[in-house]
Structure 1
Amino acid sequence: MTDQTAAPGVTLYTTTWCPFCQKLVANLDRSETPYTRIDVEEHPDAGEWVKSVNDGNRVVPTVKYSDGTYATNPPAGDVRRKLAELG
């Protein structure tokens, strides 16, 4: 999916240069898992949110779920399981 594409359940906060982001996106795409992707370098407010949940560090990928929970650098399998829980 592309930056800012609306998808229910999960938002990925990423950068284009982060290898961990690239791996997560590739694995989610391979399994056709829906997500919304936001590049924190293009959207400073998103980068500030990432810092707010990571002890002041802009750590990517950070994933926010529709229930308000989040995870930093989760494996794609964890993201898929959480989406299944959210229904």
Structure 2
Amino acid sequence: MKVTVFVSPKTTVLDPQGAAVEQAIKSLGHQTVGAVRVGKTVTFEIDGEDTPEMRAQVDQLCDGLLSNPVIEDYRFEIEAG
């Protein structure tokens, strides 16, 4: 199965990279763009079936390794291989 993890800064955390990207977008003339947040995407393959136990394992990976739960939120999608 293919797992895609989307990690982004929590809304309460400043995102200087997002602010810089927003400023660059506006300098290109796109004044209607706002509230830019920059995150990361992690993809990996995992053997097994999409079960509650598998989702718990992926959740553990996300919470303990792929994101910093103090400053980041995450969500993941599982796609049958």
Q: Same fold (TM over 0.5)?
A: no
- Relative CO higher for 1 or 2, CA cutoff 8 Å, sep ≥ 6? 2
Name the TM-score class by shorter chain.
under 0.3
What's the TM-score, normalizing by structure 1? 0.24
TM-score, structure 2 length as denominator?
A: 0.25
Q: Which has the higher strand share?
A: 2
Larger Cα-atom Rg: 2
Greater helix proportion: 1
